[in-house]
Structure 1
């Protein structure tokens, strides 16, 4: 077994949340070690939406200028009926929206966001990034924390932040709960914009969400508008309760996707024909828990509050975690136990609410009962695109306190 190695802060996981956490710790003047299980720091997936409560944190971390070079600033979020092809409602994201919330709404490739955060970490002299470092066990030792890797290496530190995703080994320290399968599966991919002019429609700068019974399609441009991102989501009726198959090999197949989208409008069916069928993601979350912390160990991002993607808040909530955790360490210094408890005191109610709303929103957009669909669409038809009633709680400037000292 390797001899013990010491670090000020250890961050388990080198995804978006983990790298952002390292930048947050650097802001406080602390050294950190980021342990990534993969052979390289990279990001899986295609597009990501970043609302004002996320871009505010990226501004605080000092990376927004670089991100702006790669992002797209959409004009509207639009809900479309996947069956009739009609627009149901929209949210205008231009000047009024920006003035209301202080920061923009952007869309970009996940790999681009991850790369910006990674390069920002490399520029810091107090962040060490280590690959091929799969964590087997995390322990709170009262006066310090301990991380044991699968290869036998041991690291001790002042504190540990678990940002190791929905499969988090760090989470096992505070909860023995299991992930919850939604029965939905997603296919994701990007296409060169010049190849999909017809697919992108007449408003390629909009974020489009086509909704229908047990399915939806999301479309928007990424990478300065050079690529068009598409996410096809549907409920699989071939899923067997209790199955623990993250790759969804036996359910949610391309053949089932064609069956689910057979009754959609021609535009949606045409768009779905472009999607890559090689890879698919089963969609899981977890129930909210009431504690993320044990002594000098705490959780962040999907390790703490994995949520369904329907509100596009998963990565953003990780960024909110980073901002508030950083502020608490500024406030309480090396009293990590207090800092972590105060961090979760603010964050658990907020993140749990978003987790729950994501599930509820999924039920609303995927409604199959005709009466539910009629009532939903009637409510949508009565709001204007400058009506921020339904998003104000999420994007509110109240969360400016999380992104500034």
Structure 2
């Protein structure tokens, strides 16, 4: 058997989280090898929301201008009543938002974001991308770790970063916390041409993003690809709306009581595939010696804050800065990275769960939600300061200075 190939840093997983971690390490002057299970590097899915906390990282890594080339910048984020079609509250995301947070909120296609990061990795000269590498085993070894692939190849490294997603093989080795938790909700996702929504008033907020909230259900709509397409995500609670019928018919039945704009939008979606919404409780122990986790492998979260990819992007610079702050000591660098990230990601995970509860209330609770949220001003950013005002590009450096 041939001797395993060795690298300074090895990343498992070539999605957004893995490639951003690789790029951040490369920007810090570290050579990185990335193993991706699929036959080619790419991103599955449609739209993706990017808040200022992630834009700061993309800007520092030098890819923001490429990412936003075909992005859509909504002027406001609107919460509407899915049953009546009436607005509940809004968050303005134009000039005042940019002045507050330094960046605009934008939405893009997942593939566009992934492509920009991948290109930057390829052009860095420090990142080696290897597709068709399904890692089936990870071992901790003295002075590093080893990843064994299904094709028989093995890769040794001085430092292993696992970005292998929700069902992470590496996490299973580090943390004994069972399977991810199924929330009972499922999501249908896809894009439609903006003209297809015209029959019932179009997007209703053509320069914005809308979350239509209802009892145990919601629909998200926002433009991508410079407004040519509208990304839609329809979500509902299968426990509240059980059905023995075909899943394609079930989603129409669930949304048939909603307002015309919502029902029409859902009717245009592909009903053949749906995704269960799962997460985990915040759990430490991502790091063991020279192995650590990033993104969904470390802190999978429900989608209600649109922060899954953003938190993986935050991870990248904190990881790279921790490595820089602890030269020659990967164990200390990885431990510091987890210590800095765990409080932040835990809060995002638990707040996402709470926001899901708020979206899906019914009856008197829905009336109270509207009464509490309707009076707030669109430029009142207090509710999101903690989330969007966070600067992951400086947290590791500030911590180092404080020691």
| TM-score (normalizing by structure 2) | 0.94
**Cross-structure match for 1:197:** 198
Deviations 1:351-389 (A, max 9, x none): 011111111111110113x22112111111121101112
Corresponding residue for residue 98 of structure 1:
98
The 5 A counterparts of 1:24-35 are 24-35=24-35
Counterpart CA distance in 2 for 1:20 and 1:250 is 42
CA distance in 2, matches of 1:206, 1:346: 34
The 5 A counterparts of 1:152-171 are 152-171=152-171
| CA distance in structure 2 between the aligned counterparts of 1:90 and 1:403, rounded to whole angstroms | 33
Question: Aligned residue pairs: how many?
Answer: 396
Say whether the 8 Å CA contact 2:278–2:301 is kept in structure 1: yes
Alignment of 1:280 with 2:274, yes or no, is: yes
CA shift, 1:264, in A, is 0.6
Once the two structures are superposed, the pairs formed by residues 352-367 of structure 1 within 5 Å of their partners are 352-367=346-361
- Cα distance in structure 2, aligned partners of 1:292 and 1:137: 17
Q: Distance in 2 between matches of 1:397 and 1:293?
A: 23
For 1:318, the equivalent position in structure 2 comes to: 312
Do structure 1's residue 328 and structure 2's residue 316 form an aligned pair?
no
- Provide the rounded CA distance (Å) in 1 between the counterparts of 2:390 and 2:347: 17
Once residues 142 and 400 of structure 1 are traced to their aligned partners in structure 2, the CA distance between those partners, rounded to angstroms, is 31
Q: Note if contact 2:247-2:272 (Cα within 8 Å) is conserved in structure 1.
A: no
Alignment of 1:10-159 (within 5 A): 10-159=10-159
Distance in 2 between the 1:334 and 1:113 partners?
32
Is the CA contact (8 Å cut-off) linking 1:323 and 1:402 kept in structure 2?
no
**Once the 2 structures are TM-superposed, how far is the Cα of residue 34 of structure 1 from its aligned partner?**
0.6
The SS at the match of 1:196 is helix
Measured after TM superposition, the shift of residue 2 of structure 1 is 4.5
Distance 1:214 1:192, change over 3 A: same
CA contact (8 A) 1:142 1:295 kept: no
Structure 1 unaligned runs (5+)? 241-248
| Distance 1:404-1:86 versus aligned 2 partners, 3 A rule | farther
Instruction: Single out whichever of 394-403 and 56-65 deviates more from structure 2.
Output: 394-403
Residue 245 of structure 1 corresponds to none
Residues 63 and 403 of structure 1: CA distance in aligned 2, closer, same or farther (over 3 Å)? farther
2:253 alignment partner, one of 246, 259, 263: 259
Q: Deviations over 1:235-290 (max 9, x none)?
A: 113899xxxxxxxx989912221221121111111111111112211111111112
Alignment map for 1:202-221 (pairs within 5 Å): 202-221=204-223
Residue 380 of structure 1 is matched in structure 2 by 373
Following TM superposition, by how much is the alpha carbon of 1:340 offset from its aligned partner in structure 2, in angstroms?
A: 0.6
Q: CA RMSD in A?
A: 1.9
Whether the 8 Å CA contact 2:36–2:131 is kept in 1: the answer is yes
* Further displaced range: 296-305 or 383-392: 383-392
Q: Given that residues 186 and 277 in structure 2 are in contact (C-alpha distance below 8 angstroms), is that contact kept between their aligned partners in structure 1?
A: yes
Deviation, structure 1 residue 400: 5.0
2:216 touches 2:240 (CA, 8 Å); kept in 1? Answer: no
Q: Is the counterpart of residue 174 in structure 1 residue 174 in structure 2?
A: yes
Three-state SS of the structure 2 residue aligned to 1:69 is helix
The TM-score, its normalising length taken from structure 1, stands at 0.94
Return 5+ residue gaps in structure 2 as ranges.
399-403
Residue of structure 2 in register with 1:187 after alignment: 188
Give the structure 2 partner of residue 268 of structure 1.
262
8 Å contact from structure 1 (residues 10, 157) kept in 2: yes
Higher mean C-alpha deviation, range 194-203 or range 16-25: 194-203
The answer to whether the 8 A contact 2:57-2:392 is kept is no
* Alpha-carbon contact 1:200-1:228 (below 8 Å) kept: no
Distance (Å, rounded) in 2 between the aligned partners of 1:239 and 1:154: 47
Give per-residue Cα distances to partners, 1:43-75, cap 9 Å, x unaligned.
Answer: 111100000001111101110111121111110
Q: Which residue of 1 aligns with 2:401?
A: none
Distance 1:404 1:103, change over 3 A: farther
Aligned-pair CA distance for 1:404: 7.9
Paired residue for 1:232? 234
Q: Distance in 2 between matches of 1:403 and 1:191?
A: 41
